[in-house]
Amino acid sequence: MKHRLLICFWVLFISISGSAQNLEAGFFLGASNYQGDLQPTHFLFGESKVAYGGFIKYPVLDYLSLRASITKGTISGNDLNSTIESGRRQRNLNFRSDILDFGLQAEFHPLTLIYGENKVISPYLMGGINGFTFNPEAFYIDRFYALAPLGTEGQYLEGSGVSPYKRLQIAIPAGIGIELKVSDYNSIALEFGIRKTFTDYLDDVSGNYPDLSQLSELDPLAATLSYRRLNRDGEPTDFPSAGTQRGNPDAGDLYYFFGVNFGFNITNILNLGGGASDYSIF
């Protein structure tokens, strides 16, 4: 399934590349972050990681462009960032996950629609449909362990009623940006884009604790990484009872990218014709 989606993306990429009128290609450089059970309410600068990618863009109308993009980033979270009173420090979980994000978005430039001409400075809205892959890992003692194969919420316990989650998912991208036309050949855009997912397992945390004694018999590492057993003094404590809340399944996970798109007008650079060259600042 993953390979099929990537093939479809590259077919779309090549198809758009075959059109000459104002074809633009470029790269993204910025940062990634997330919101979920290990970072539930606010942005933490320390959990931001470098993100990068590439895109091609083709104008369907003067004020509307289609963009195919692929972006790589890393998200992470740690219960030690929270307060003791939240109860998350006692849970003592951490994770990181590489995100490969790819799909098709539309850029809508309202000033161009209103004034009927291209603007040197143009704010825009972005939305579309994306796919992404993820693989949460936790650091324990001296290395990272992949969490999905362990089933830390009892996914592999008989009769648990919890199914393993898929690491290839669909996301809905939405964002805002502001683009500056530097010349007929290149542009720079500052963009913030959020990805609404349909999974609560970006961080491997969603529902309730399984029977950790039973899980420990099946896989001691899975039980250990399900609950890291610290009390207020940092000493080990007893396992929570089966069915005790571990995460919040009612609040799905999000991830987002923010940074700069550097675009290059391939039509003008290669002198293919059809490139726009008249811009108004305001």
What does the pLDDT look like over 81-122, one tens digit per residue?
887 666 777 788 999 999 999 999 999 999 988 887 777 899
Rounded Cα gap, residues 214 and 12, in angstroms: 48
Please check whether residue 278 lies inside any domain of the structure. Answer: no
Cα distances (angstroms) measured from residue 127 to each of 104, 232, 256:
9, 44, 13
Q: Which residue has the higher pLDDT, 115 or 230?
A: 115
Q: What is the mean pLDDT of residues 69-90?
A: 85
Please check whether residue 98 lies inside any domain of the structure. Answer: yes
Q: Which residue has the higher pLDDT, 49 or 277?
A: 49
Please check whether residue 280 lies inside any domain of the structure. Answer: no
Q: State residue 195's pLDDT score.
A: 97
Q: What is the mean pLDDT of residues 148-162?
A: 93
Q: Dump pLDDT digits (tens) for 47-69.
A: 999 999 999 999 999 899 999 99
> Closest by alpha carbon to 107, among 84, 91, 123?
123
Q: State residue 241's pLDDT score.
A: 84
* CB-based burial label for 5 (10 Å; 0-12, 13-18, 19+): middle
Question: In this structure, are residues 89 and 80 in contact, taking their beta carbons and an 8 Å threshold?
Answer: yes
Q: State residue 155's pLDDT score.
A: 95
Neighbours of 40 (CB within 10 A): 15
Please check whether residue 274 lies inside any domain of the structure. Answer: no
Domain count, the chain: 1
Q: State residue 58's pLDDT score.
A: 94
> Closest by alpha carbon to 26, among 47, 57, 50?
57
Q: What is the C-alpha R_g of the chain? A: 23
Please check whether residue 50 lies inside any domain of the structure. Answer: yes
pLDDT at 234 over 70: no
Q: State residue 3's pLDDT score.
A: 59
| Domain span including residue 75 | 2-19+28-269
pLDDT band at 19, cuts 50/70/90? very low
Rounded Cα gap, residues 5 and 107, in angstroms: 22
Q: Dump pLDDT digits (tens) for 200-214.
A: 999 999 999 999 889
Q: In this structure, what CATH number is given to the domain that contains residue 130? A: 2.40.160.20
Rounded Cα gap, residues 128 and 194, in angstroms: 11
pLDDT at 281 over 80: no
Please check whether residue 138 lies inside any domain of the structure. Answer: yes
Please check whether residue 276 lies inside any domain of the structure. Answer: no
pLDDT at 274 over 80: no
Please check whether residue 200 lies inside any domain of the structure. Answer: yes
Proportion of the chain above pLDDT 70, given as a percent: 84
